[in-house]
Each structure stands twice: as structure tokens, then as C-alpha cells.
Amino acid sequence: MSKSNARRYCMVGTAEYEIVGPTATEVFEPEYTGCHSHGGETYCVNSAGDDVQIVLEVEEGAEGEDHHESHESEHTEHADGEADEAGGVHCHEHAGVPHCTGGSEDAEPICRRIDREYNKPLRIGLLFVILATSGIGVFAPILMSRFTRMSQRSLVFVAAKQFGTGVIISTAFVHLFTHASLMFGNECLGELPYEATTAAIVMAGLFLSFLVDYTSKRFLLWRQSKNPSSDSEAAPSPASDVKSASPTDSAVTPPMSQIEHEQTELRGHSDAKLNVLVLETGIIFHSLLIGLTLVVASDTSFTTLFIVVLFHQMFEGLALGSCIAGLPSSAASTLDRTLMATGFALITPVGMAIGIGVLDQFNGSDKATLVAIGTLDALSAGILAWVGIHEMLARDWLHGALVSAGWVRTGVAMGFLVAGLALMSLLGKWA
């Protein structure tokens, strides 16, 4: 810091700033830290933790053009998502971790915890809004299916399911994969010895989902092969042997074929329930992080992020609710459906409650925090990618009814699929 005619200046990288103040009751300090940008103005933090405004010094004869860059706004405390006019820096938050683009690469990252003032009563109140929104989103398809007797082949159900498919796929790639990459690429974590860490963890989540799916199918086949009742029912009686000799009765489906059909249908129902459980597992992981992310965001970005999360929960609830509603009654009872839906409705508010509890200690730039959040995001991305592409998209469009559906049904389904992809991807700009 330098002194000139009772003025004080500080250097931030190659830019020289004039310190505004102090007042008559204050004195200049030898050092200011934690420089950040808010509302187009730049501030640094003094020893008391208060913000002190600094102004970029413009050289005379520069024809009104500022050639300096504001480096400290790369690590803005407020992360309000607006571009800093002095340095062209654009900042926003992911899980309470500021992420900035533009500006100088020479600025030192701020990895310590920054003290902030949080509006806790507002966060506690909006927790119940998120709870209600999540509940409405996930229970709406289930209640419609139950009380309106809406068939799974109805156009409304097909549209809702395809919209949900788009939401799940977009969540996996645009939200979770991107967030995990930002966590592992954070400057506070340092350079990773393995650059493909994020992709490797996503692949692990995808492979684990496949392994669960494959193992469960093998287990169901093994259990049915060991079921003695199937063997006894499959053994034809002498009377049936005699009757089967007649040409008329030979056209009737034999008992063995009927049993095999019932077993195949039973396996399909069990597979459907397992697929929904795997889907919900991936959703629960990242929904917990969404609740935490929302609460630890600074007050300047909280309102925007809350609106985004509100739409996110509604869309994702509709996606999961459509899958739960599509389960056959033999695979999931009313209690099963209620428990699945309730689990989704509660998990994001639980994440918010955890965030409220650790607001005064949370440091999103801590190495352990970055690794934990990045790992969970990447694993969830792999799980949702498997379920969204293999179990939902491919099953409906390549092996299901849509492969031979009429043009109207196909057009509606494709339109809602693209809408789910597009809307959820749009939300990825803010969360």
C-alpha cells in the first residue's frame, strides 16, 4: 500500500486502487484482504471484518479507457452472477463455492471461510415451500393415476413420462456432471494428479447401476428356478396329455407356456420396481446436495437460486412421480408408492436443514468439502445417466410402445422429451 497526498492506494495484481475513506474516526490499515465485487463496486475486508470500498485508479490521458483488470472479483464473496465492469469477471456459486470466469489468472484463490450475514428465518420459512413444491410434483402423477384411472397408454401419461425422461437425462449431464467438474477443478483443491477424475467417477456410478441391475435379474432367475411350485405346476397331467392330442385343444396355450409368460411378466414387474429404486437413489444423493447448496448461498444470490431450485424440484418430482405411477400394482403397493414419493419430498428439505445447522462453520472451498461434493455429484450423474438413457429412453423408444406408435403420439412424446431436456438445461445456467 502506498501513500500520496493523504490518499492511500493498494495494489491488486497489476491494478492500483484508491481506498475510499476512512472517516474521521477511522484510520488506514497497512493491509486489506478478501477483496470482492458487488453491484459494480469493489470492496476489501479490514481487520475488523468490515467492507472497505476501493476505487480503480485511472491514469490521466487514457482517453477514458480503463486498461486495468479487477482480479479480486474472481473470488467474490457475494457471487451475484453479474459481470464485473472493471475486469469482465462473471461469478456465480455452486454448493456455496464461488466460481468465476474471466479476469486474470494470476490472482490468488481465497480458500478460507468468509464470514457472511445469513437471513436464517427466511431460509427456515422457505424450507417448507420447497417441501410443499417437492410433494406436489412427485405426488401429482401418482394421485392422477389412482383417482382418474389414467391408463399408462394414455397420451397424458406418455407426455408426462417423456418429459420426466428429458429432465433426468439433463440433470445427469448438465447439472451433476458439470457441478462435479467445477468442484474437482476448483483452485483451492489444487491440480489433480488424474485429470479424468470426474469422468471416472461418473463411469463408476454408471457401472454400479448396471451391476445392481444385472445382479438383481440373475437373482430373480435363480430364485424362480429353485421354486418347487413352478416345477409342479409346469408338469403336465396325464389328462392334459390325452386332451392335447385333439386338434382343437392343440390351439389352446399349453400350461407350460402360460406359466413361462406369468414368470416373465413377474420378472418384468420386479425389474420395473428396481429401476425406480435405482433412479430414486441417484435423485436422493443430489437432492440432498441441492438443499445444502441453496442454504449456504449468499443472500445476494439466494433468491435467484431459490426460484431455480423450486422449478427443479417440481420438474424432477414430476419425473420421479411418473415412474412411480407407472409401476404395476403387483410390483408396488400403495404403501410402497407413498414411501417412495415421501422420500423424495423430504430429502431436499433435510439437506436445507443440515445447511442451516452448519451455516456458521461451512466452508465450501475446503478441500475435503470439495472432494465430498464432487464425488457425490459425479456418482449421482452416473446413476441418473444409466437410468435415464437405458431404462427410460431406450426402453420406451427402442423396445417399447413408441417404436411403433402413431405419428401423433410419437410427435407429442418427442416434443415433451425435448421440452424436459431443454427446460432442465436452461435451469443449469443458475444452478
* pTM to 2 decimal places: 0.66
Report the alpha-carbon distance of residue 388 to residue 203 in Å, rounded.
Answer: 14
pLDDT along the chain (431 residues), means of 10: 53 60 54 66 70 57 40 41 47 59 61 80 95 95 84 86 93 93 90 93 95 86 70 46 47 52 56 85 88 85 88 91 87 89 95 91 86 92 92 91 93 96 90 70
Q: Which three cell numbers stand for residue 308?
A: 431455480
Q: Crossing angle for the helix pair 120-147 and 334-357, nearest 10 degrees?
A: 170
Q: Which three cell numbers stand for residue 166?
A: 428429458
- Other beta carbons within 10 angstroms of residue 200's beta carbon come to 12
Nearest partner of 379 among 289, 262, 275, judged by Cα: 289
- Core vs surface per residue 399-431: b (16+ CB within 10 A) or e: eeebeebeeeeeebbeebbebbbebbbebbebb
Residue whose entry in the numeric block shows the C-alpha cell 487514457? 62
